[in-house]
Structure 1
Amino acid sequence: MELFAVEIRTAQWETMLRWYTSALRMDSRLRSEEDGYALLTGEGWRLSLLQLQDDQPRDRSAISLAIEVEDLEMVRRHVAAYLTEPEAPIQKSDEGFIQWTIADPDGNRIKLFQFER
């Protein structure tokens, strides 16, 4: 497993984007204003900024971890025994990966994903 990025959901997407690229001098590697998404990179780390929509309910999750795995099904079988909330199904994305979203005991979201081969 490899930590791919820490995700921050924010209602101040543009302000946060400017702050991270200016104050921390992070590079904007991928940016979609239409989707409210930016992938920023620092030296050896990544940060995703996600636009929180006004009509979206805020959950307990302060942050999300995006973790890339080699075998999502194997990881799912192992992790399922430790979940405190009902298990969600694995989802297929249009971007070429499969993803399983779970939560830690504090409710922080963890996205485990595998690029399709």
Structure 2
Amino acid sequence: MELFAIEIRTAQWQPMLMWYTAALKMDCRLRSEEDGYALLTGEQWRISLLQLQDDQPRDRSAISLAIEVENLDLVQRHVREYLPEPIDPIQKSDEGFLQWTIADPDGNRIKLFQFVR
């Protein structure tokens, strides 16, 4: 497993993007105004900024971890025994990866994903 990025959901997407690129001198590797998404990179770390929509309910998780795995099915079989609530199925994205979203005991979102060829 490899921590791919820390995701920050924010209602202040543009000011956050400007702050991280100016204050921390992060590079903006991917930016989509339409989707409210930016992938910022440091020397050996990444932050994803996600725009919160006004009509989206706010959950307990302001940040989440995006963790890349080699075999999502294997990871799911192991992790599911530690989850207290029913689990959502693995989702296939249009961007070419499989994703399974879970939460830690404090409610922080963890996105486990695997790129598919």
Aligned to 1:8: 8
Aligned to 1:92: 92
Secondary structure of 1:56's counterpart equals coil
Residues 32-67 of structure 1, C-alpha deviations (whole Å, 9 max, x = no match): 000000000001000000000000000011211000
Aligned to 1:60: 60
Secondary structure of 1:58's counterpart equals coil
Q: How many residues align?
A: 117
Give the Cα separation in 2 of the matches to 1:83 and 1:103. Answer: 8
Give the Cα separation in 1 of the matches to 2:106 and 2:98. Answer: 24
TM-score in terms of structure 1 length: 0.99
Aligned 1:71-90 pairs, distance under 5 A: 71-90=71-90
Deviation at residue 84 of structure 1 after TM alignment: 2.1
Give the Cα separation in 2 of the matches to 1:104 and 1:25. Answer: 30
Q: CA RMSD in A?
A: 0.5
Give the Cα separation in 2 of the matches to 1:85 and 1:36. Answer: 30
Is 1:109 aligned to 2:109, yes or no? Answer: yes
Of 84-93 and 44-53, deviating more is 84-93
Give the Cα separation in 2 of the matches to 1:83 and 1:7. Answer: 21
Residues 66-94 of structure 1, C-alpha deviations (whole Å, 9 max, x = no match): 00000000000000000122200100000
Secondary structure of 1:88's counterpart equals coil
Contact 1:85 1:103 in 2 (8 A): no
Runs of at least 5 residues in structure 2 that lack an aligned partner in the other structure? none
Give the Cα separation in 1 of the matches to 2:4 and 2:85. Answer: 23
TM-score in terms of structure 2 length: 0.99
**Identity of counterpart residues, as a percentage?**
83
Give the Cα separation in 1 of the matches to 2:14 and 2:84. Answer: 35
Give the Cα separation in 2 of the matches to 1:53 and 1:75. Answer: 31
